């Protein structure tokens, strides 16, 4: 009797464990499927034109139009499995760098192909991991990076910094209140002293005031400095956590004043041309004449067709003007956007001849 009960107990424990393990693994599998499906959707929208539907070369309509090095075969397991999840993540989420600089090309830790665009400024971190997971399936693999763990890490980092931030703020407020009270007491004491001092003449009075002002400016409490530092960390942790689930958002780009002197303009155009090809790889997606990609419109006549203020705002923040455009935000700063805009203004190819209408 005793033995049988013990056995039953063991069996029911086993059953609980089996059910629990099943629930956990199928829960994960569900999450993973959802993530892969999301990754496929994003890949088809942002990557397929260059990399092909199944990741093979020559498959995407833009593949043959790109300059060397053309996209490698993402379905090729032997080479692709040598990259870690994090390495693939870094390739699609980085800052574009000027490939005319030798130190950029020499940096083995950095992926420097200008025509592979960055998605750092376009997608959320969660979406980027979903894309990496989908890329893995193209060569028969799966994502091993712990995405949920990464989110938990960002959350706990944020909570820790938030606590430190609140503490530092309290300390600063206390210190400021104390300082204020001390100053009030000192002012009161000085007033009393002045009233007592019958002989004081105007000049002395002015000197005193000057000294007092100088002293005032210099006082920065250590608590204020400490708070400023923590506040910076707080903002960084907050935006890291926000960027995990939300796409990066910029404030609307203000209309720039693009007037420059003639020599400045010539230098800008030259710099812009170099940035167009060697840093941002715009030619991977846009054509000028017979060369360049077909993902975006041809830019031969951009100088005639497009207003420079509009171009500046577009290249800095395409998503601000058209939410789901296939053109990623490549992270151009003000200076680079001015230069690229100046270059596009020089593109003034003649109108193509009207095609001869077919005979009736």
Binding residue for ligand HEC, selected from 280, 300, 329, 338, defined by CB under 6 A: 280
CB of 239 to ligand HEC, least distance (A): 22
How many residues bind ligand HEC (CB under 6 A)? The answer is: 47
Neighbouring C-beta atoms of residue 152, cutoff 10 Å: 11
When the beta carbons of 172 and 347 are compared against ligand HEC, the nearer one is: 347
CB of 267 to ligand HEC, least distance (A): 18
When the beta carbons of 241 and 315 are compared against ligand HEC, the nearer one is: 315
Q: Is the peptide bond before 342 cis (omega within 30 degrees of 0)?
A: no
Span from 115-123, 153-161, 175-183, 216-224 in contact with ligand HEC (CB under 6 A)? 115-123
**Up-side HSE of residue 323: CA atoms within 13 Å toward CB?**
1
Task: Please choose, from the candidates 94, 96, 16, the residue with its C-alpha nearest in 3D space to the C-alpha of residue 275.
Answer: 96
Binding residue for ligand HEC, selected from 104, 113, 231, 349, defined by CB under 6 A: 113
Site for ligand HEC in 310-329 (CB under 6 A): 311, 314-315, 322, 325-328
Residue listed under structure tokens 């959320």: 124
Q: d(Cα 359, Cα 299) in Å, to the nearest integer? A: 31
Question: With binding defined as CB under 6 A, does residue 46 bind ligand HEC?
Answer: yes
CB 238 within 8 A of CB 158: yes
Binding residue for ligand HEC, selected from 154, 295, 342, 347, defined by CB under 6 A: 295
CB 124 within 8 A of CB 240: no
Residue listed under structure tokens 């009797």: 1
With a CB cutoff of 8 Å and minimum separation 6, the contacts of 248 are: 120, 121, 122, 124, 329
Site for ligand HEC in 180-199 (CB under 6 A): none
When the beta carbons of 161 and 344 are compared against ligand HEC, the nearer one is: 344
Question: With binding defined as CB under 6 A, does residue 265 bind ligand HEC?
Answer: no
Interaction pattern, residues 68-97, with ligand HEC; x per rule: CB under 6 A: -xxxx-x--------x----x--xx-----
CB of 182 to ligand HEC, least distance (A): 56
Question: With binding defined as CB under 6 A, does residue 292 bind ligand HEC?
Answer: no
Span from 24-32, 189-197, 232-240, 278-286 in contact with ligand HEC (CB under 6 A)? 278-286
With a CB cutoff of 8 Å and minimum separation 6, the contacts of 347 are: 288, 299, 300, 301, 302, 303
Residue 296 has what DSSP assignment?
Answer: S
Interaction pattern, residues 340-359, with ligand HEC; x per rule: CB under 6 A: x---x---------------
- Terminal Cα-to-Cα distance of the chain (whole angstroms): 101
Burial of 96 (0-12, 13-18, 19+ CB in 10 A): buried
Task: Please choose, from the candidates 92, 72, 115, the residue with its C-alpha nearest in 3D space to the C-alpha of residue 285.
Answer: 115
Binding site for ligand HEC (CB under 6 A): 43, 46-47, 50-51, 66, 69-72, 74, 83, 88, 91-92, 111, 113, 115-117, 119, 131, 135, 276, 280-282, 284-286, 293, 295-297, 302, 306, 311, 314-315, 322, 325-328, 330, 340, 344
């Amino acid at each position: 009797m005793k033995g049988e009960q013990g056995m039953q107990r063991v069996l029911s424990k086993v059953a609980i464990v089996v059910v629990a393990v099943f629930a956990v693994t199928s829960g994960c599998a569900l999450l993973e499927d959802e993530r892969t499906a999301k990754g496929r959707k994003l890949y088809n929208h942002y990557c397929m034109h260059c990399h092909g539907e199944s990741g093979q070369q020559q498959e995407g309509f833009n593949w043959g139009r790109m300059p060397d090095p053309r996209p490698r075969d993402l379905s090729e397991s032997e080479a692709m499995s040598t990259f870690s999840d994090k390495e693939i993540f870094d390739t699609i989420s980085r800052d574009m760098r000027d490939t005319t600089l030798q130190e950029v090309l020499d940096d083995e830790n950095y992926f420097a192909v200008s025509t592979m665009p960055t998605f750092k400024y376009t997608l959320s971190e969660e979406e980027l991991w979903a894309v990496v997971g989908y890329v893995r399936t193209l060569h028969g693999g799966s994502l091993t990076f712990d995405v949920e763990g990464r989110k938990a890490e960002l959350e706990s980092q944020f909570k820790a910094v938030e606590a430190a931030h609140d503490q530092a703020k309290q300390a600063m407020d206390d210190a400021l209140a104390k300082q204020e009270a001390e100053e009030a007491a000192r002012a009161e004491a000085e007033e009393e002293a002045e009233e007592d001092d019958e002989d004081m003449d105007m000049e002395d009075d002015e000197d005193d005031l000057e000294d007092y002002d100088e002293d005032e400016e210099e006082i920065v409490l250590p608590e204020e400095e400490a708070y400023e530092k923590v506040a910076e960390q707080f903002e960084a942790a907050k935006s890291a956590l926000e960027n995990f689930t939300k796409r990066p958002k910029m404030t609307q780009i203000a209309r720039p004043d693009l007037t420059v002197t003639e020599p400045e303009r010539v230098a800008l155009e030259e710099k812009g041309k170099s940035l167009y090809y060697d840093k941002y790889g715009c030619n991977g997606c846009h054509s000028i004449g017979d060369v360049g990609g077909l993902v975006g419109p041809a830019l031969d006549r951009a100088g005639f067709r497009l207003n420079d203020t509009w171009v500046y705002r577009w290249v800095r923040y395409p998503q601000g003007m058209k939410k789901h455009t296939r053109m990623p935000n490549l992270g151009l700063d003000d200076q680079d956007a001015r230069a690229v805009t100046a270059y596009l203004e020089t593109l003034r190819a003649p109108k193509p001849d009207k095609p001869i209408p077919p005979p009736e």
